[in-house]
Structure 1
C-alpha cells in the first residue's frame, strides 16, 4: 500500500481544525471564568449557555482527535508497508542477460532460502513484484512481457520463412 499525499493533507487539515476547536474552547473557558467573577450580575441562563458551548467544543475536539489518531495510524501502517516493500526490492539488482534482456535477479547472499528467480523490470517500476516464468524464454506473470535469457543458437533461424 502506497502512501497517498491526499491522506497526509487530510490529516494536516484535521490537525488544524482540532487546533482551531481547542482555541475556541479556551476562549469560551476564559469567558466562563470572567462570568464566574461576576456571577451575581450575570443571569444563570448565560452561564449555562457558555458551559454548553464549551462542552460541545470539547466533544468536537475529542472526535477530531480520534479521527486524527485513526488517520495517522493508517498512514503509519502504509509507511511501514512501503518500507517493507522497498527493502524487499532492494534485495534485487538489474541484470543484463546474455541475450541482452534486462531483468531483476536476487543479489548474491540475499536469497533468504528462496530458489533462484527473476523479477520483471516493468512491473517493478510500477511497484509490483511479478515473477518471470520459463527457461530460455521467460514470461512475466504480471504484464506478460517476454524476456530472452540465452541467445539463440541459430540466429539465422529467425529469418527463415515457412510456406
Structure 2
C-alpha cells in the first residue's frame, strides 16, 4: 500500500507540477497576447498616421501645382493704372492663348485668383467695372461735364 500511496503521491505532485507549468504557460501566453495586442494597436495607429500623411501630401502636391499654374498664368498680365488711379491687370498683347482681351481684378490677383473684371458700360467718359469675386466696384476715366447749349 505504501508503494501505491507513494505512486499516487508522486502522481499528485506530477499533476500539480503540470498544472503549475500550464499556469506558467498561460501567464506567458497572456503576456504574449497583451504584447501582440499592444503591437496591433501601434500598427493601427501607424497606419492611420500614414493615411493622414499621404492625404496631406496629396493636398500639398495639388497646392504646389496650383501655385505653379498661377505663377505661369499671372505672367500673362500687366498692371495698369487707369484714371483716377485705379489699378487693374490687363492681358498683355500676344498672350491671349485663344482668349479675348480682358482685364482682371488687382485685389484678386494679389490673392492668387484670376477674377475677370466686368465692364458694366461707359457713360460720360467713365467706364464702370465690377468684380463678382471680391466686390470691387469702381469707375475709371475722366468725367465729361455735359454743357447745356442754348437753342
Could you tell me the TM-score, scaled by structure 1's length? 0.58
5+ residue gaps, structure 1, are 1-39
1:47 is paired with a residue whose SS is: helix
Query: Is 1:85 aligned with 2:70?
Result: yes
5+ residue gaps, structure 2, are 1-24
Q: In angstroms, what is the RMSD of aligned CA positions?
A: 2.9
The verdict on how the C-alpha distance between 1:141 and 1:159 changes in structure 2, with shifts beyond 3 A counting, is farther
Residues 13-32 of structure 1 correspond to what in structure 2 (within 5 A)? none
Query: Is 1:148 aligned with 2:136?
Result: no
Q: Greater Rg, structure 1 or structure 2?
A: 2
The structure 2 residue matched to 1:76, chosen from 46, 49, 61, is: 61
Does structure 1 conserve the Cα–Cα contact (< 8 Å) formed by 2:105 and 2:116?
yes
The verdict on how the C-alpha distance between 1:144 and 1:58 changes in structure 2, with shifts beyond 3 A counting, is closer
Q: Larger RCO: Structure 1 or Structure 2 (Cα < 8 Å, ≥ 6 residues apart)?
A: 1
2:107 is paired with a residue whose SS is: helix
For each residue in 1:26-74, what CA deviation from the matched residue of structure 2 results, as whole angstroms up to 9, or x when unmatched? xxxxxxxxxxxxxx8x722212221221122112111110111112112
The verdict on how the C-alpha distance between 1:87 and 1:147 changes in structure 2, with shifts beyond 3 A counting, is farther
The structure where strand makes up a greater share of residues is 2
Residues 1-150 of structure 1 correspond to what in structure 2 (within 5 A)? 43-97=28-82, 100-132=85-117, 133=119, 134-135=121-122, 137-142=127-132, 143-149=135-141
Does structure 2 conserve the Cα–Cα contact (< 8 Å) formed by 1:130 and 1:140?
no
The verdict on how the C-alpha distance between 1:98 and 1:146 changes in structure 2, with shifts beyond 3 A counting, is closer
Work out the CA distance in 2 between the residues paired with 1:69 and 1:137: 50
Does structure 2 conserve the Cα–Cα contact (< 8 Å) formed by 1:93 and 1:105?
yes
Count of paired positions: 116
Does structure 2 conserve the Cα–Cα contact (< 8 Å) formed by 1:104 and 1:120?
yes
* Cross-structure match for 1:8: none
Residues 151-162 of structure 1 correspond to what in structure 2 (within 5 A)? 151-152=142-143, 154=144, 157=145
